[in-house]
Structure 1
Amino acid sequence: MKHYLTSVAAAVVLLGGVGATLADTIVVQPEQETVVREYVKKEPLASVNLLGVELKLGSSVPDKVELREVPNVKYRVAVINDQTVLVDPDTRQIVEVLH
């Protein structure tokens, strides 16, 4: 039983590391950032205020936040707490916080 629990604990740690590694490997090209910035200037998005939401890579965006499609960009854009973020539409995880 002790060996089984140790194996399960090791698997959980490894899987957690894999998720963190995947989130770190997403690279948003500078050209995509430029397209997004220009889009947001032309098509201003209303900021959604979310208390207690930390805007960092890998954070999940709640379903109530509308994700807007940007032409020629894989990710979707949203403005949360006056901060523009790129979000993976499949996982709703933040892949880039634009400053």
Structure 2
Amino acid sequence: MRNTLIFASAAAVLTLSASAYAQETVIIQQAPVATHSTVVIPAPARTYVMEREVRSVPYEGDVLVGRVIEDPVELYPIDGYSDYSYTVINEQRVIVDPQTREIVEIIE
């Protein structure tokens, strides 16, 4: 009786773990996704920013995600992504929310 119970428990555990491994769904996200406090920028938008030649603007202070860029700094639109703009500050390319002028990503 005891062996039957152990065998049944082991079979149930193996069945549950096999169904978890059988899932092979891949989700490709094209739109930006908010993950807690981080915004994931689509790869084509990052590529667009890296390919553009824009002169760096000197800026006092650290370039950090969440920092609001003052009005005199010119922001450039990202083709196909109206929710984002970019600029180059202190030799660092940054993606900015054009509504709030807040840095959402620093491209390394």
Highest Rg: 1 or 2? 2
The answer as to 2:59 corresponding to 1:50 is yes
The percent of aligned pairs where both chains have the same amino acid is: 36
CA drift at 1:57 = 1.2
Report the TM-score when normalising by structure 2.
Answer: 0.61
Gaps of 5+ in 2: 1-33
Decide which structure has greater helix share.
Answer: 1
Runs of 4+ in 1 over 3 A off after TM superposition: none
| CA-atom RMSD in angstroms | 1.9
Report the TM-score when normalising by structure 1.
Answer: 0.66
Amino acid at match of 1:33: R
CA drift at 1:22 = 8.1
Taking structure 1 as reference, are residues 63 and 98 closer, same or farther at Cα in structure 2, changes over 3 Å only?
Answer: same
Give 3-state SS (helix, strand or coil) of 1:77's partner.
strand
Higher relative contact order (CA 8 A, sep 6+): 1
Equivalent-residue separation in structure 1 for 2:43 and 2:35 (angstroms) = 20
Amino acid at match of 1:37: M
